[in-house]
Structure 1
Amino acid sequence: MEKYQKIMVGIDGSEQSKLALERAIQLAKLADANILLVTVQNDAKFVALAGGASATYRMDPVMLDDSRQQIRDFLEKCTDEVKQAGIPVDAKIYYGDSKTELAEELPKKENVDLIVLGATGLNRLERVLIGSNTNYVVQNAKCDVVIVKDPADNK
């Protein structure tokens, strides 16, 4: 079995993505691997999640900028955490459909050999969407995938 060299972690700001990051750090230490932190933003989906707005609604540019800044800040915190663990890290924000980006495009583009994702997202509606994203990644990724569940979900 070959060692993992690059571990991609899907980051969305949720507790689940924090748990995924913790697991990725553990795995990277064991495999002496690098970590790639990624978030895939889809502004249309964000609008629907933020307020259930119709597809014709256009998000206020200030709100959109704020949401993008929040994810940049979160990625920066995550990057610092990985660096403190002594692991080489890179963080990137991509735009598009998270399912195909996480499962197909990014692993190929970034030479990823392991994907680590949280099992659910930020809120109830997003859990349905993220859950379907997670399922899509598991079914379609050409590399190994680790899904991290919250220990509280097992109680």
Structure 2
Amino acid sequence: MLEKKRQILVAVDGSPQAQRAFVKGVQIARQSQGQLHLLAVLDIWNRDYQYDFHHDQNRDDFTTQLVQRTEKQLQQLQADAHDLGLADCAYHIRFGNPRTVIAHDFVQDHQIDLILVGATGKGAVTRMLIGSTANYITRAAPCDVLVVHSAL
């Protein structure tokens, strides 16, 4: 058991890999009596990302709908964490580049000492062209990083 209370960050994006990181994060937070932070980083400027962007909608409507859907998903994860026995779970939505927000900005703002991320779900060609967020975080974050590969 970890002796000190930890600030634990789980980066979530709706992927199966992030779901596995979430479950592992809940387990670690319960064991260490730490606080779990669920973070979704919305990169709305990258139109090639996984969002359903319709060109006939204006950007404000798109952003509002995206934030509402993301908040609903985070609230569900927070409820799931509570059901799994973790009372101290907060969720956050940030805008920007997921790599820098997770590895630098959020870590500093919340004194995070452990980040959990799911292993990449991208194919080899995509990883080669744009890189892996998980790979960047493991190299750049000032704290411990756990990349979750295992299936539930």
> Scaled by the length of structure 1, what TM-score is found?
0.80
Structure 2, gaps ≥5 residues long: none
Which structure is higher in helix share? Answer: 1
Q: Aligned AA for 2:78?
A: T
Question: What is the CA deviation profile of residues 59-96 of structure 1, one whole-angstrom value per residue up to 9, with x for unaligned ones?
Answer: 64444433322211110111111122233011110111
After TM superposition, the structure 1 stretch with the greater mean CA deviation from structure 2, 1-10 or 107-116, is 1-10
Q: Aligned AA for 2:134?
A: T
After TM superposition, the structure 1 stretch with the greater mean CA deviation from structure 2, 67-76 or 143-152, is 143-152
Question: What is the CA deviation profile of residues 9-57 of structure 1, one whole-angstrom value per residue up to 9, with x for unaligned ones?
Answer: 0011111111110000111111111101111111022x21258x9xxx7
Q: Which residue of 2 aligns with 1:75?
A: 74
Aligned residue runs from structure 1 range 7-86, under 5 A: 7-45=8-46, 47-50=47-50, 60-61=58-59, 62-84=61-83, 85-86=85-86
Structure 1, gaps ≥5 residues long: none
Alpha carbons of structure 1 residues 50 and 17: separation in structure 2 relative to 1, 3 Å: closer
SS at match of 2:45: helix
Identity of aligned residues (%): 26
Residue 124 of structure 1: how far off its partner (Å) = 5.1
> Scaled by the length of structure 2, what TM-score is found?
0.81
Distance 1:118 1:59 in 2: 31
Distance 1:130 1:2 in 2: 39
